Amino acid sequence: MQPLTFPEARALIIDTVRAARPALGVEEADLLAANGRILAEDIRADRDSPAVSRSVRDGFALRASDTPGVLRIIGESRAGGRFPGTVAYGETVEIMTGAPVPDGADAIVMVEHVEKDGERVRVPQAEAKQFINYQGCEARADEIIMRAGQRIDYTGIAMLASFGRRKVKVCRKPVVSIVATGDEIVGVEEKPARHQIRNSNAFSLAAQVTRAGGNPRILPVARDTMEATETAIANGLRSDLLLISGGVSAGKYDVVEDALANFGARIYFDRVLIQPGQPLVFGSAAGKFFFGLPGNPSSTMITFEIFARAALELAGGETEISLPMPLAKLTREFRHRAGITRFLPARLNEDGSEVTPVDWQGSGDVPALTRSNVYLVADPNKPEYAAGEQIRVLSK
């Protein structure tokens, strides 16, 4: 099986999961509990937005045709109230931001641009419609304002609240089973021997799954035997998505792919031209998708973020999947091996304009990962970058 490039592998995952996405079911969530969840229904406006034409500045509501000139102040309009009369020739109404625009007025002049003298005000030339949000300009009653498949963020919470939705239908969170493999792994609470390591991968993956909108289920460690690995896989395939950490390389005791074959697994690819994380497996078995993630910590973390996370989001009902990788300026020169896309720990400065590579000792160097806040994304066709050049970065 030929290895895929980073874009090829990601596109294959998205296309495959999107085409086969199962229905997870729907549940109702309270407004605050809906934050971060995926909408399972279209949301329609229950009224025009704004419901009345309103001012977007503090100033004076008037007829543009009366300007420039000196106008008589006949009252005021404030948020939560409404001027009861009509603005006629030579008249104006003092108005506050968010207040309803009085009948007859078709423009707002900002308060700092006028000269007030008692009950009169000198105003400059105004253009019709300036500083007015007209009724329904944001949304019309019964218009779809949020669509099923959209992840609800704080702006979505504001939208739902604005249109009276105290409860909303959301997609059920996908259950994601996580299996770490290897005879060398012991529990987090245990004191490992020098040849052993604690099970950090299961917990880092669980945190990533939670952040991506899934419900993590950490299963017991699968030891390096066919029987133990098959038992773990059978248990994991009862979930919506299975993540297996380790056991997918070409070593003597890497038995995951052989065990998967006993479940009739279809393997879409088993290697990607990236570093860290080349021996990555993506496939399906028993109607469920799975990922065999490389066992070194940074390989596990990175391959989840750039590949498995997309599958999880799609499985959870999200329709638009993205992986933002903005550009930042390198603070020093950087070299890497051509032919593969590399994801390496780095520090992005406070304004996001400059990035500095973090020294690290390979894909098992978790302390270096904690000192970073982004990954450099090195182009496979560009082995050398000079200081000051732009390079893509991926947020952690």
Pairing of strands 91-95, 69-77: parallel
Q: Are residues 110 and 19 in the same domain?
A: no
Q: Are residues 240 and 265 in the same domain?
A: yes
Q: What is the pLDDT of residue 308?
A: 98
On whether both 352 and 383 belong to a single domain, the answer is yes
Amino acid at 121: V
Query: Do 128 and 32 share a structural domain?
Result: no
Domain check: are 239 and 210 in the same one?
yes
Q: What is the pLDDT of residue 249?
A: 60
Given this model, what pLDDT does residue 66 score? Answer: 97
4: Cα separation from own chain's centroid: 25
Domain end point (choices 133, 156, 185): 133
Residue 1 inside a domain? The answer is no
Residues 180 and 166 in one domain: no
231, 164: one domain: no
Q: Would residue 306 count as lying in a domain?
A: yes
Same domain, 274 and 222: yes
In a domain, 226, yes or no: yes
Strands 334-335 and 384-385: antiparallel
Cβ count within 10 A of residue 78 = 16
- The per-residue pLDDT for 69 is 96
Q: Looking at the domain assignment, is residue 320 inside a domain?
A: no
> Domain of 111: which CATH number?
2.170.190.11
Residue 140 belongs to a domain:
no
In the three-class reduction of DSSP (H, G, I as helix; E, B as strand; rest coil), residue 50 is classed as coil
Instruction: Name the residue with tokens 């979505």.
Output: 156
Domain span holding position 87: 54-133
pLDDT for 141-186, tens place per residue?
999 999 999 999 999 999 999 999 999 999 999 999 999 998 888 8
Which of 108, 133, 158 is the last residue before a domain boundary?
133
For 289-336, write each residue's pLDDT tens digit.
999 999 889 999 999 999 999 999 999 999 989 999 999 999 999 999
CATH code, 385: 2.40.340.10
DSSP string, 52-105: S-EESSSEEEE-GGG-SEEEEEEEEE-TT----SB--TTEEEEE-TTPBPPBT-
Q: Is residue 212 part of a domain?
A: yes
- pLDDT score, position 361: 85
pLDDT value at residue 253: 43
70: left (phi over 0), alpha (psi -120 to 50) or beta: beta
Q: At 133, list the tokens.
A: 């949000």
Asked whether residue 299 falls in the same domain as residue 366, the answer is no
Q: How far apart are CA 101 and CA 124, in angstroms?
A: 19
Residue 350 lies in a domain: yes
- Asked if residue 117 belongs to a domain, the reply is yes
CATH number for the domain spanning 244: value is: 3.40.980.10
281: which residues sit within 8 A by CB, 6+ positions away?
A: 244, 248, 256, 257, 260, 267, 269, 270, 290, 291, 292
- 161 and 36 in one domain? yes
The domain boundary, picked from 294, 315, 336, lies at 315
DSSP 306: I
Domain count, the chain: 4
Provide the CATH number for the domain around residue 162: 3.90.105.10
Q: pLDDT under 50 in the chain at which residues?
A: 251-253
Same domain, 262 and 305: yes
| Residues 18 and 36 placed together within one structural domain of the fold | no
- Ramachandran bin of 278, using left for φ above 0, alpha for ψ from -120 to 50, beta for the remaining angles: alpha
